[in-house]
Chains A and B, each alone.
Chain A
Amino acid sequence: MESFSAIMAEALGLILSGDPDVIEIIVLSLRVTLSAVAVACLIGFPLGATVGAFRFPLRAGVIVVMNTMMGLPPVVVGLLVYLMLSAAGPLGVLGLLYSPTAMVIAQTILVTPIVAALSRQVIEDLYNEYSEQFTSLGVGPLDRVLALLWDARYSLLTVALAGFGRAVAEVGAVIIVGGNINHVTRVMTTTIALETSKGNLQLALALGMILLTIAVIVNGLLMAIRGTAARAAYV
């Protein structure tokens, strides 16, 4: 087995060479993850805002369910999506199994509860501050939700980042519904798992470094945005 430094050097060489296979894997990973996070935010933000801003029967139960679903086991989600999309499943006719769309669906199911639960907390804190003012101004239910989402926009970016972190690092669900097919559904995490098992540590390490770099860049970007917003008193 090669030394760690030799593997690292080869991994860096792979990144710097702009290997088309590596780039394809990175692009697909980002496409799937960003699509899943976007859909999860479209569902999770209004859901979180609604639960955060309104009182209704069984609300506490809904919050417990939302919080519990944050810890959904990825392989279980992968299995359920697999059963739904397989030829014998209710959605088999769509022919989505082993496609990037199936991976987006699985990741969306994993990320939506995270986005909904965290945004519920953010919105509820803001709503406690705004509640009496909204009632005094006569703000209707829809306007309340929209105003809260807008005013919490910088905090919600952090929520979206948490969803992104979960999705981009996910492997269990996407490998079940995507199948890790070369040039079709192979993403960074599934490639790392596959190449490690094959002993191709250079590629696995190269993708691992890229994955970490993406996480650092996204975090840095969001910290900069939040910092600017905080200085301008929008947070």
Chain B
Amino acid sequence: MSEAVVNISERKRAPLARTGAVGPAPLMTARGLCFDAGGQRLIDGIDLHIHPGRCTVIMGANGSGKSLLLRLLHGLITPTGGEVRWQERPLDAAARQQQAMVFQRPVMLRRSVMANLRFALSVRGLRGAERKTRETEAIALARLDALKDKPARVLSGGEQQRLAMARALVCAPRMLFLDEPTASLDPASTQAIEQMIEDARETGTTIIVVTHDAGQARRLGDDLVFLHGGRVVETGPVAQVLDNPRSQAARAWLGGRLFVPATP
């Protein structure tokens, strides 16, 4: 295991707060969140409180609704029931300007690495010297200095994901959504991405990350939300949920067993 990974996993965390239970006023709240499509309820009455500065990990089997929940929380999809509130106000475009998201498959504009960063800053209205400074910082953060003039789409998967992270972070979001940001990446690239996530946390960014990797959940997360069938079946501090899962679905999934609930 590399040194950086050890540092992350051994980081001293603040006392853990259960999602939705204690701590300062939540930055984001989901109340009775539902989403229906094709006559099926894909997200079923989810309540969440996301507190500032925390890293919340969302886990669950394929099709449990993790990515969908992330999109609902970020406002990319409109819920069919319930609501998402940002600092006690309805989530709107202005609130979304304080958030950023990195997708499992990074979406690279058909431009250079630097132009991808410049675009994100331009749409936020940044121009001139400040934009230049932020671009330079972001390129350094992603360790892409040598590739800054290359077309973004020729970068490797790991480099593209680092660029996507840098593009998300360059606008200094208060909340960062990450949808399996290290899926299909090699250990070195995973380490680089996790380091960027750690760096973001140190600046106070609130993180919500979807992952299938229990090790990553332990390294990065404070709180864990376990989904099954579009419902939250378990929440709590990461170590508690991973070490002593209470729900049958979480126990089965973490134990590597198949869990198929009986159909009514």
Residues of A within 8 A of B (CB): 129-130, 132-133, 135-140, 143, 147, 150-152, 232-235
Residues B76 and A135 in contact, CB atoms below 8 Å apart: yes
Distance in angstroms between the alpha carbons of A147 and B103 in the assembled complex: 20
The answer on a CB contact under 8 Å between B107 and A130 is: yes
The 6 closest A-B pairs by CB, nearest first: A233-B153, A133-B107, A151-B110, A136-B101, A233-B151, A233-B154
* B71 neighbours in A (Cβ, 8 Å): 132
Q: What is the number of contacts between chain A and chain B, taking CB atoms within 8 Å?
A: 52
Residues in B with CB closer than 8 Å to A143 are 122-123
B76 touches A147 (CB 8 A): no
Measured between beta carbons, the chain B residues less than 8 angstroms from A234 are 110-111, 151, 153
Please name all residues of chain B whose beta carbon is closer than 8 Å to the beta carbon of A140 when the two chains form the complex: 123
User: B30 at interface (Cβ–Cβ under 8 A)?
Assistant: no
Question: Closest Cβ of chain A: how far from B246's Cβ, in Å?
Answer: 34
Asked if residues B100 and A235 are in contact (CB atoms below 8 Å), the reply is no
Q: Are A138's CB and B123's CB within 8 A?
A: yes
Query: What is the CA–CA distance of A139 and B101 in the complex, to the nearest angstrom?
Result: 14
**In the assembled complex, how far is the CB of residue B151 from the closest CB belonging to chain A, in whole angstroms?**
5
Chain A nearest CB from B18 CB (Å) reads 28
State in angstroms the CA–CA spacing of A147 and B107 once bound together.
Answer: 14
For the complex, what is the distance from the CA of A147 to the CA of B111, rounded to whole Å? 10
Interface size class of B (residues with CB under 8 A): 20 to 34
When C-beta atoms are compared, the residue in chain B nearest to A143 turns out to be B123
A82 CA / B146 CA spacing, docked (Å): 60
| Interface CB pairs A-B, < 8 A, 26 | A129-B107, A130-B107, A132-B71, A132-B103, A133-B103, A133-B107, A135-B75, A135-B76, A136-B74, A138-B93, A138-B96, A138-B124, A143-B122, A143-B123, A147-B109, A147-B119, A151-B109, A152-B110, A232-B154, A233-B110, A233-B151, A233-B152, A233-B154, A234-B110, A234-B151, A234-B153
Set of chain B residues within 8 Å of A152, measured between Cβ atoms: 110
Docked Cα-Cα span, A128 to B34, in Å, equals 24
A135 / chain B contacts, CB cutoff of 8 Å = 75-76, 96
Q: Give Cα A13–Cα B232 distance, bound, in whole angstroms.
A: 83
Shortest Cβ distance from B74 into A: residue:
A136
How far, in angstroms, from A225 to B85 measured CA to CA in the complex? 48
Quote the shortest CB–CB distance from B159 to chain A (angstroms).
13
B151's partner among A139, A147, A232 (CB-CB below 8 A) is A232
- CA of A94 to CA of B103 in the docked complex: distance in angstroms? 56
> Which chain A residue has the least Cβ–Cβ distance from B109?
A151
Please report the C-alpha to C-alpha distance between residue A99 and residue B76 in the assembled complex, in whole angstroms: 53
Which residue of chain B has its CB nearest to the CB of A140? B123
Residue of B nearest to A233 (CB): B153
User: In the complex, what residue of chain B is closest to A152 when comparing beta carbons?
Assistant: B110
Chain B residues positioned under 8 Å from A133 (CB to CB) = 103, 107
- Is the CB–CB distance between A136 and B111 below 8 Å? no
A132 and B76 form a contact (CB under 8 A): yes
Q: How long is the Cα–Cα vector from A139 to B154 in the complex, in angstroms?
A: 24
Within 8 A of A (CB), among B103-141: 103, 107, 109-111, 119-120, 122-124
Instruction: Report the minimum CB–CB distance from A74 to chain B (whole Å).
Output: 35
In the assembled complex, the Cα of A143 lies from the Cα of B124 at a distance in Å of 11
Nearest Cβ distance between residue B245 and chain A, in whole angstroms?
32
* Cα–Cα, bound, A234→B123 (Å): 21
Instruction: Say if the beta carbon of B97 comes within 8 Å of chain A.
Output: yes
Q: Given the complex, which residues of B lie within 8 Å of A232, measured CB to CB?
A: 151, 154
Query: Nearest chain B CB to A153's CB is how many angstroms away?
Result: 8
Name the B residues within 8 Å of A137 (CB-CB). Answer: 100, 119-120, 123, 171
**Interface core residue of B74, B103, B107, B151 (most chain A CB under 10 Å):** B107
In the assembly, what is the distance between CA of A143 and CA of B119, in Å?
10
- On chain A, the residues within 8 Å of B151 by CB distance are 232-234
Cα of A180 to Cα of B93 in the assembled complex, Å: 57
A133-B103, A136-B101, A137-B120 known; A235 vs B110 contact (CB < 8 Å): yes
Who on chain A is nearest to B71 by CB? Answer: A132
Whole-angstrom distance between the alpha carbons of A151 and B103 in the complex? 20
